[in-house]
Amino acid sequence: MSIRPRARVHLSSIAENWRLYDRLSGPGGAGAVVKADAYGHGAAPVSRALAGAGCTSFFVAYAFEGEEVRRAVGPGPVIHVFSGFSPEEADVCRAAVLTPVLNSLENIDAWLASGADLPFALHVDTGMNRLGLRLEDLAEARRRLNGREPVLLISHLACADDPASGMNQAQSHAFAEACAQFPGVATSFANSAGHGLSPEMRRGLTRPGIGLYGGGAGPTRPEGLKPGMTLEAAILQVRTARAGESVGYGATARRKRDTLLATVGLGYGDGFLRSAGNSGFAYLGETCCPIVGRVSMDLISLDVSAAAPLAKQGAWVEFIGAKADLERQAAAAGTLGYELTTGLGARVERIYED
Residues with catalytic roles: 35, 249
Q: Which residues contact 140 (CB under 8 A, 6 or more apart)?
A: 105
Q: Which amino acid, 156?
A: H
d(CA 23, CA 29): 7
Residue from 186, 147, 193 nearest 171 by CA = 193
d(CA 198, CA 126): 17
d(CA 133, CA 220): 28
Q: Which residues contact 218 (CB under 8 A, 6 or more apart)?
A: 161, 162, 193
Spatial strand order of the sheet with 98-102 comes to 32-33, 57-60, 78-81, 98-102, 121-123, 152-154, 187-188
d(CA 79, CA 92): 12
DSSP 8-state symbol, 248: S
Q: Please give the angle made by the CA atoms of 158, 159 and 162, to the nearest 5 degrees.
A: 170
- The Cβ of residue 252 has, within 10 Å, a number of other Cβ atoms equal to 13
* SS3 of residue 122 by DSSP: strand
Residue 66 CA to chain centroid, in angstroms?
16
Residue from 234, 233, 296 nearest 267 by CA = 296
d(CA 305, CA 317): 14
d(CA 270, CA 251): 22
The helix or strand, by DSSP H or E, that contains position 253, with its residue range, turns out to be strand 253-254
